[in-house]
Structure 1
Amino acid sequence: MDSISSNPTLTAVRKARQASRKLALASAKIRRQSVMVLAEAIKANFNDILESNTLDLEMSREMAVSELTVDWLKLTPERLGTTVSILQQLAKTTDPTKRLINAPYQLEPGQTYSQLKPLGTIALIYEAFPELAAIATGMCLKTGNSLILRGCSTASNTNQVISQTIKTALDDTKLPPGCVEIISPDTGSSIQELVVQDRDLDLIIPYGRPSLVQQVAEQATAPVLRTAIGNCYLYWSTSGNLELIRRMVIGSHQGAPDAVNAIEKILIHSSIKPSYLTSLFNNLQKQGFELRGENDLVKEFSEYLKPLNPSEWARPYMKKIVAFRCVEDLSEAVTWINRYSSGHADCLVTESYQESRQFARHVDSALIYINASPHFERNPNCGEAVFLGMSNQKGYRQGLIGLETFTTVKQVVQG
């Protein structure tokens, strides 16, 4: 026991596991009230959170942290306001663990039904994005799961203030102690030490750059839900509307602070008029985009496009960069997308119903957008829709990471 009590990671994991059993039995009313208390606490601490965030931003600039990470780290009153709105929306939604669904079979003479239940203990390992701690806490409390938060050292001051806000808020509720545990990287605890606690962890969610997601996936012995950002493809069919494509591309990059579904690659049907391409290139450049393309396109539109490395087709830019390639038909586009896309959100612009059905059937991605913007929002203000992010992982909740992602199914046979 002494070795466990002196190890902050093991201590946090064990506390969270013990709390998860009590939290799963807590009433929906208590959990709903707790989420609302958390929302009010975050709202009341805006100034302290923003001041701590300023310190982190200053330290990041001194340490030459990447511009992308700084964008993810930088909090604003608007971002915090969105966080509060998400928590308030979560508090209003119905309890997902009370939802009954049809069982896939019936056992005679009893009656069989299925019910959603909490997973248990969830760990969120996140890079920058300090507000994710509060959002994930709200989602876990709503679904009856305990949560372990492990942020990055870049946001240490902000994470500390938000974590303390969460702890103080929950101390005033009827929830069991340990339902939210925080592991600070400043304690020297490694990510690897956390992700191998498969005895007590039911799900690990890494959120950040692909390198972080890959690190966790390779080291973990507990189940991992991969998240995905960027490298979404769009196929521009011969009948596709130019103005719609322009709006979709620009809109997909406006998901602040993380443009999860940003369109970064566009496959163009070879018969698209050069004047249409010139119009799109010119417009995107005016919007601050850097444009790249395959060799033939670069030669033809050298004033707009820069050459790219072939390896770029398979990786996200996570910047305002869009690369272009010509294809002969829809089949070639589908093959290319299935090979190089991130696999979480891909788009088609066409006026052909047949093409739309073929694209939807054959593209192997979690979400397909046809003549619709893939712009991602955590709280799109439509009922119970609150999302932590996106996953391209097959086998477990591929697609939008919502409340049901934090649940599993229990089957009951009533004799």
Structure 2
Amino acid sequence: MSVIEQAGKARVAAIELGAATRTVKDAALLLMADRLVERAGDIVAANEVDVRNGRANGLTESVIDRLALTPERVAAMADGLRQMAALPDPVGEVVRGSTLANGLELRQIRVPFGVVGIIYEGRPNVTADAAGICLKSGNAALLRGSSSALSSNAAIVSVLRKAVADAGLPADAVQLLDATTRDSVKELMRARGLVDVLIPRGGASLIRTVVEESTVPVIETGVGNCHVYVDEHADLDKALAVVLNSKTQRLSTCNTAESLLVHAAVAPAFLPRVLEALHGKGVTVHGDAAFAAASADVVAATDDDWGTEYLSADISARVVDSLDDALDHIRVHGSGHTEAIVSESVAATRRFVSRVDAAAVMVNASTRFTDGGEFGFGAEIGISTQKLHARGPMGLPELTSTKYVVTGDGHVRP
């Protein structure tokens, strides 16, 4: 079946889904969760095929980590769907309303987009998350995963579609597109009029391609060259904890720190500590001359390192002379995702927060907190780094548009 045919089926399903009550949608989400757990063995077996193929094809261990599923990870996917069912339904929410001077009642209410296309790499957990968040927000989902997760995604979507149908909603509310050819991506990007919005999740190349070539509106999500800046007024114990967690809590996520900036005033005391800790965690530091002088294990940084999203056990590192130097570095090399400052100075943190341009700014906290679940939004569809429509973790409200409902009593305009 062509992408255009699938998109047509999704648009029909979206009509019914957009009018579904919260009770029906939540029941579907809970059934989807139960079925994932029941079929976890089949899903993990399918995933093992993808992992074996991935290793045979030379995928890095960080990519394998994103690809791999275990019974525990499948259970976590199910828990995410259950948590979503417990969240308020954004559809129908009144954003604002008033009675105009002429007596007309004006309400702006949230409505689903309609059909949402998601293009993503690896990470088969995204399949369940995206399907669930689209269903809860009243949108039909067209899922285009990567060929590396072909078997995993097929197994997951098969389970989800059956659960959706058994819950009384159209199975075509959740559809998996062909991942064996790039033609499906091209067709999806040109399905304007059938697909309402595209959300790419993956590396810089994928996102750039979708943004530049799609005729369907795109919400740009998260390449994450995230920085941690250790200020001259930092508590160095806090700084060490924040740097380590930001970099090593999980290597392969977009909110993992990829760059470390340290104020020159604290560099003599902090560099030996942070380098020993990072090296102890297996992290390779790509540093400037000051970092290289502090340890023979530091690799000399190139110009390319400052803008690299490693998604691996690597971090770029530089000593800066001032807060403004740090801000200038971030302005040039940052990706607008998440930036962190560690400082006990209110003036410094205020200046950093007001001047750094990012979807999320952390003050004395790890970059790893930029996440819909951590923010209390439930599952997210992605982290938007653009400034139109949505920015930061995109939860349920961000998957809706609005329409105005105007109620009168035979009103006519004079």
TM-score, length of structure 2 as denominator length: 0.93
Is 1:293 the counterpart of 2:274? The answer is: no
* Contact 2:262 2:318 (C-alpha < 8 Å) held by counterparts: yes
Q: Where does residue 163 of structure 1 map in the other structure? A: 157
* CA–CA separation in structure 2 for the residues paired with 1:273 and 1:244: 15
Is 1:124 the counterpart of 2:126? The answer is: no
* Contact 1:118 1:143 (C-alpha < 8 Å) held by counterparts: yes
* CA–CA separation in structure 1 for the residues paired with 2:98 and 2:235: 43
Deviation string 1:329-359 (CA, Å, 9 cap, x unpaired) is 1122112212211111000111111111111
Aligned amino acid, residue 19 of structure 1 = A
Q: Where does residue 17 of structure 1 map in the other structure? A: 11
Which of 122, 133, 146 is the aligned partner of 2:140? 146
Q: Where does residue 347 of structure 2 map in the other structure? A: 354
Q: Where does residue 266 of structure 2 map in the other structure? A: 272
* CA–CA separation in structure 2 for the residues paired with 1:263 and 1:49: 31
Q: Where does residue 296 of structure 2 map in the other structure? A: 303
**Secondary structure of 2:229's aligned partner:** strand
Taking a change above 3 Å as real, the CA distance of residues 106 and 319 of structure 1, as seen in their structure-2 partners, is farther
The alignment-based identity, stated in percent, is: 29
Aligned amino acid, residue 387 of structure 1 = E
* CA–CA separation in structure 1 for the residues paired with 2:37 and 2:234: 45
* CA–CA separation in structure 1 for the residues paired with 2:175 and 2:227: 38
Unaligned runs of 5+ in 1: 1-6
TM-score, length of structure 1 as denominator length: 0.93
**Secondary structure of 2:330's aligned partner:** helix
Q: CA deviation at 1:105?
A: 9.6
* Contact 1:125 1:207 (C-alpha < 8 Å) held by counterparts: yes
* Contact 2:225 2:334 (C-alpha < 8 Å) held by counterparts: yes
* CA–CA separation in structure 1 for the residues paired with 2:101 and 2:191: 37
* CA–CA separation in structure 2 for the residues paired with 1:336 and 1:9: 43
Q: Where does residue 29 of structure 1 map in the other structure? A: 23
* CA–CA separation in structure 1 for the residues paired with 2:206 and 2:182: 18
Aligned amino acid, residue 79 of structure 1 = R
Which of 61, 64, 68 is the aligned partner of 1:70? 64
Q: CA deviation at 1:42?
A: 0.7
Q: What pairs up with 1:13-412 in 2 under 5 angstroms?
A: 13-103=7-97, 106=100, 108-186=102-180, 189-253=183-247, 256=250, 258-298=252-292, 300-376=293-369, 380=373, 384-412=377-405
Aligned amino acid, residue 350 of structure 1 = S
Q: Where does residue 4 of structure 1 map in the other structure? A: none
**Secondary structure of 1:323's aligned partner:** strand
Unaligned runs of 5+ in 2: 409-414
Q: CA deviation at 1:385?
A: 3.2
* CA–CA separation in structure 1 for the residues paired with 2:232 and 2:370: 30
* CA–CA separation in structure 1 for the residues paired with 2:138 and 2:280: 48
RMSD (CA atoms): 2.0
Aligned amino acid, residue 49 of structure 2 = L
Aligned amino acid, residue 412 of structure 1 = V
Taking a change above 3 Å as real, the CA distance of residues 264 and 371 of structure 1, as seen in their structure-2 partners, is same
Q: CA deviation at 1:250?
A: 2.2
* Contact 1:253 1:259 (C-alpha < 8 Å) held by counterparts: no
Taking a change above 3 Å as real, the CA distance of residues 326 and 189 of structure 1, as seen in their structure-2 partners, is same
* CA–CA separation in structure 2 for the residues paired with 1:376 and 1:383: 11
**Secondary structure of 1:313's aligned partner:** helix
* CA–CA separation in structure 2 for the residues paired with 1:168 and 1:116: 28
Q: CA deviation at 1:382?
A: 6.8
* CA–CA separation in structure 2 for the residues paired with 1:239 and 1:205: 40
Taking a change above 3 Å as real, the CA distance of residues 303 and 57 of structure 1, as seen in their structure-2 partners, is same
The number of aligned residues is 408
Q: CA deviation at 1:249?
A: 2.2
